[in-house]
Amino acid sequence: MVTGAGSGVGREIALQLASQKWSLALADNNYDALLDTQSRCAAMTTVARATQVDVANRTEINSWAESSRRALGGLDAIFNVAGVLYRGDVIDTPTADFDLVMATNFESVVNSSRAFLPDILNSRRGRIVNVSSAFGVMSAPGYSAYNSSKFAVRGFTEALNQELRLASRTARATCVIPGGLKTPIARTARAAPGVDRARTANFFDTRVARTAPKVAAQKIIAGAWKGKSQVTIGNDARLIDVTTRLLGSHYQHLLPALQALRRR
């Protein structure tokens, strides 16, 4: 099962699993993009189901889990990739926007993990793979909603993985920490009123996005089957991880200082 399968890393994960002949249940809110992924997967594997799902809606996730269970029988792995980027200071971010980011990025991961958890525990190779972010390791000014959601994904997945280790000899949860990925996430991002979305997207695409989705998908799948607790993708993500470990809370002086210099 793969959420966010209509584009980016979710699509690449679906395609690579299809090339390995896995039966797939694919979900995305963009149905046209999802059908394109399904068509590509169907050329490589026997079963590739496409279901339009708003991952922020628990009822839709539960319905997708049940229909996937009926169609595929045993379910072995769920890759929770769907998410939304959001730019905006705390004071400018409407409550509804903050809630939507948390529902899309975090609550969807919780709801999906819970919906498929019985199947994962029953599988001899059960895997739950949740995508956090380098912004789930280091916070940044202007990204409070996104930071909150991705820190929450990391904490939830780490706790879940420990519970799985207590309950099963084989089931595992993997937290993915990607840096900047060359995906449409910045161009489909949401933002608080007054934020220049085009400028933010251009900065992300030209200065932040570094790793190709295909490379990221390969590392995610390999790490998941190895039962890794964490898969860190990109030198930028590794640098952020090292920086926060070395500086601790003092890193919070670093980014505001850099932004202040940039504005001069």
DSSP 74: S
* pLDDT at res. 49: 98
Specify the residue for token string 């995906």.
Answer: 183
Q: What's the predicted TM-score (pTM) here?
A: 0.95
* pLDDT at res. 110: 98
* pLDDT at res. 264: 67
* pLDDT at res. 167: 97
| Nearest Cα to Cα of residue 26 among 16, 14, 43 | 14
pLDDT values of the chain reduced to their tens digit, one per residue, 264 residues: 999 999 999 999 999 999 999 999 999 999 999 999 999 999 999 999 999 999 999 999 999 999 999 999 889 999 999 999 999 999 999 999 999 999 999 999 999 999 999 999 999 999 999 999 999 999 999 999 999 999 999 999 999 999 999 999 999 999 999 999 999 999 999 999 999 999 989 988 998 989 999 999 999 999 999 999 999 999 999 999 999 999 999 999 988 988 777 776
Give me the catalytic one of 86, 143, 146, 251.
146
Cα angle: 64, vertex 177, 162; to 5 degrees: 70
Asked if 146 is an active-site residue, the reply is yes
* pLDDT at res. 207: 86
- Whole-angstrom distance, CA of residue 101 vs CA of residue 245: 27
Write down the CATH superfamily of domain 2-237: NAD(P)-binding Rossmann-like Domain (3.40.50.720)
Q: In Å, how far are 18, 45, 74, 76, 94 from 173, measured between CA atoms?
A: 21, 25, 18, 12, 33
123, two tokens: 């599988």
Whether 7 contacts 84, CB under 8 Å: no
